[in-house]
Amino acid sequence: MTTLDVISPKRRSHGSVTLWAGLALVGLHIAIGLLTLVWTPYDPTGMSGGRLEAPSWLHWAGTDRLGRDFLTQIMVGSRIALIVGTGAVAIGAALGVTLGILAAFASKLLDDALAATLDILIAFPTLLIAMLVVAASDTANLASAIIAIGIALSAIVARLTRILVKRVLLMDFITAARTSGSSWPAIVFGHVLPNIWPTLSVNFALQFGLAVIAEASLSYLGLGAPPPNASWGRLLQEAQGTVYTAPIGAIAPGIALVSLVIGINLLADGLRDSIDPTRRAR
């Protein structure tokens, strides 16, 4: 019997700083987003004080130029950002991963055609594609923004998926699975997707950040969430005229936006390390 002089398997690390920092930041936004479903400090669309009031005990982040509580709007903005990020990434992932896998399995001619199409789509900035899709729809609303951003992100996801799948398909363990009798769907779900997931998940997090920023940009341009939805982009746009007299109106949505994007990226890094068995034992 062979003695196993193996590397002793370490326990799954629960002490990953990045994982916990990401969880804290994203968890905070999720908690705030969920809280706004049942409670907000003030009515997000109604006047609750004077115009452009400075931060006070009554209004922690002050009020906007219509006298609405700014903190309330930032909180509602968290919910909108999470909905847009999740929805757009879900659409981008579903479309992109499916397209990427099909391209990787396709004949050379079809694969080349798909790869060229994806390259052309990626050459256009995400925001530009999203603007085109929104402009093509009749009205600017949250759903059209989510779909537009999702479609724009799918090209990036598809290209990455295609490259990753092609690399995995060359590995001996795929041939071993075939000679073991596994069907192609079983190989895709049992071997290919688990092996590309760590890289994809990090990419999805980056896409989530891009989606949140893209929605803020669309809303800033008036193509995203329409009023009275308190999107961070619209808050930034509204604060533009009063940035010197009431800078909190520009700073607060910016901080909220950055904290969510950083949180998602830290969470993705931490999750990748914890779900990847080869990293877990290092």
Partner 1 sequence: MSLLSVQDVTFSYNASKRVLDGVSLTIEPGDSIGLVGESGSGKTTLLRLLLGLTRPSSGSITFNGTPLDPRSARFMRDYRRQVQVVFQDPYSSLDPRQAVLSIVSEPLRALRIPGDHRQMVSDALASVGLERNILGRYPHEFSGGQRQRIAIARAIVAGPSLLLADEAVSALDLSTRIRIVDLLKSLSEQMTLVFVSHDLGVVAALCQKIVILEKGRIVEAGATASILANPQHPYTQRLLSSVPRMPA
Residues that bind partner 1 in the complex, under the rule CB under 8 A: 1-2, 4-7, 9, 171-173, 175-183, 186, 190-191, 194-195, 276-278, 281
Among residues 191, 261, 213, 229, the alpha carbon closest in space to that of 79 is found at: 229
Query: For residues 245 and 282, which CB has a smaller minimum distance to partner 1 in the complex?
Result: 282
Spell 46-62 as b/e; 16+ CB within 10 A means b: eebbeebbeeeeebebb
Shortest separation between residue 199's beta carbon and partner 1, angstroms: 12
Shortest separation between residue 170's beta carbon and partner 1, angstroms: 9
- Sign, CA dihedral 255-256-258-263, equals positive
Query: For residues 245 and 278, which CB has a smaller minimum distance to partner 1 in the complex?
Result: 278
Per DSSP, the three-state class of 20 is: helix
Query: For residues 51 and 178, which CB has a smaller minimum distance to partner 1 in the complex?
Result: 178
Shortest separation between residue 106's beta carbon and partner 1, angstroms: 19
Shortest separation between residue 17's beta carbon and partner 1, angstroms: 23
Among residues 201, 259, 203, 216, the alpha carbon closest in space to that of 80 is found at: 216
Query: For residues 1 and 123, which CB has a smaller minimum distance to partner 1 in the complex?
Result: 1
Query: For residues 104 and 196, which CB has a smaller minimum distance to partner 1 in the complex?
Result: 196
Shortest separation between residue 46's beta carbon and partner 1, angstroms: 53
Residue 69's DSSP bridge partners are 63
Residue 63's DSSP bridge partners are 69
